[in-house]
Chain A
Amino acid sequence: MFSRLAEVLRSLGHRIIDRVWRLGAGARFFIYTLIYSGESFKRIHLTIREIYFTGVLSLIIVLVSAFFVGMVLALQGYNTLQKYGSSEAIGVLVALSLVRELGPVVTALLFAGRAGTAITAEIGLMKATEQLAAMEMMAVSPIARVVAPRFWAGVISMPLLAALFSMVGILGGYLVAVPLIGVDEGAFWSQMQASVDFREDIVNGVIKSTVFGVACTMIALFEGFDAPPTAEGVSRATTRTVVNSSLAVLGLDFVLTSFMISA
């Protein structure tokens, strides 16, 4: 009886220690990435190349989703707003929900699925095929050569992608609201401009997406770097990247929003 209880407690303790260890390893990994960043900036084309793979190649999925999200927002918003006779406020609704919340969050979720998984799988496979070990043998730091460029590429790409998401989403909302439903065009834009604040809404959205960029890219890189060097290990690490990034984005979103609203 007691031995079984002890067994349960032992496995619980093991899991907690494992989690804390991984958290510490992740933090160390983050610090090392920052330290080696300077070295990797000397060869900036590595970062530019990674911006191409994480940012440019994510454009299509981000823009298409943004367009549909904007259109759905306008449809749903109009449906509710016209009950209160204020269908002109639809521009405000679409713009504020995109710039404040949906732009940064949905972009980050899509980014985790599109670019984060690619990063994890690539680094995990590099580790499994001992490319990282080979680099170390040649006195090339794999963090400076492989990790830091990908990290900065993600951090730079995310705010740009989120801004494009918001802009295209507003365009989609405009297309549904003005030509399709027939909301007055002047009221659509002027009410939007009257209630979207540059500092409070747009800058806060950029801050959010930058933080999400750090979180998503860091999680993807660490999971790849930490993956067991087997086919199964890499596949599990890829799954964990998506799950952990999504949870981190949604959790951080709540924390950031509560700080931004109370300030």
Chain B
Amino acid sequence: MERRTIDLWVGVFAAAGIAALLGLAMKVGNLTASDIGETYTVTAAFENIGGLKPRAPIKSAGVVVGRIKHITFDTSRYEALVTMELDKRYAFPKDTFANIYTAGLLGEQYIGLEAGGEEDVLKNGDEITQTQDAVVLEKMISQFLYNKASETPTETKKE
């Protein structure tokens, strides 16, 4: 076969392969979704973070506004200290509430921010003081059982 034809086919092959890689990165992977521009860092302390992981999303009203940078254990308070990076475009009031939610029944956990009413906004390095822990299913079930047991069984007496 002529060399020019071979060159052409190899060129087509290489271009198709690289296009497939780019397609995988853009269309299948989340390379485009993770670009949050400039960020500022805030922290929040939780008594229990459940299954929260670094790089988990931070959402407000369902919109992703940031990601968790890292999670450490604070031995002075014995609480989990979550450091998060928020998008510079979104400013939140100082009394913003940080909750740990679960996406769906068994989905991944994320932090939901609910804006408060104060005029001052969170700045780089600030701490969100109002937090709510992750819901631990075992705790809920035991609480439910405890409540059920403490109810007086009045209905059975009537029979």
Contact = CB atoms under 8 A, between A and B. Distances in A.
Contact of A48 (B10, B23, B27): B10
B30 A193 contact: yes
B25 A164 contact: no
Nearest to A53: B6
A113 interface: no
A160 B18 contact: yes
Contact of B30 (A45, A59, A166, A197): A197
Contacts of B3: 45, 49
Interface residues of A, number: 31
A78 B93 CA distance: 45
30 contacts: A48-B7, A48-B10, A49-B6, A52-B9, A55-B10, A56-B10, A59-B13, A99-B24, A157-B13, A160-B13, A160-B14, A160-B17, A160-B18, A160-B20, A163-B18, A163-B20, A163-B21, A164-B16, A166-B20, A167-B23, A167-B24, A168-B20, A193-B28, A194-B30, A197-B29, A197-B30, A198-B29, A198-B31, A202-B21, A202-B25
Interface in A117-160: 156-157, 159-160
Given A163-B24, A166-B24, A167-B28, 7 more contacts: A48-B7, A56-B13, A160-B13, A161-B17, A193-B30, A197-B30, A198-B25
B159 to A, nearest CB: 40
Contacts of A206: 21
A71 B48 CA distance: 43
A167 B13 contact: no
Interface of A is mostly: helix
A161 B18 CA distance: 10
B61 to A, nearest CB: 18
Candidate in A48, A55, A167, A197 with the most chain B CB atoms within 10 angstroms: A167
B33 interface: yes
B24 A202 contact: yes
Contacts of A51: 10, 13-14
Contacts of B12: 56
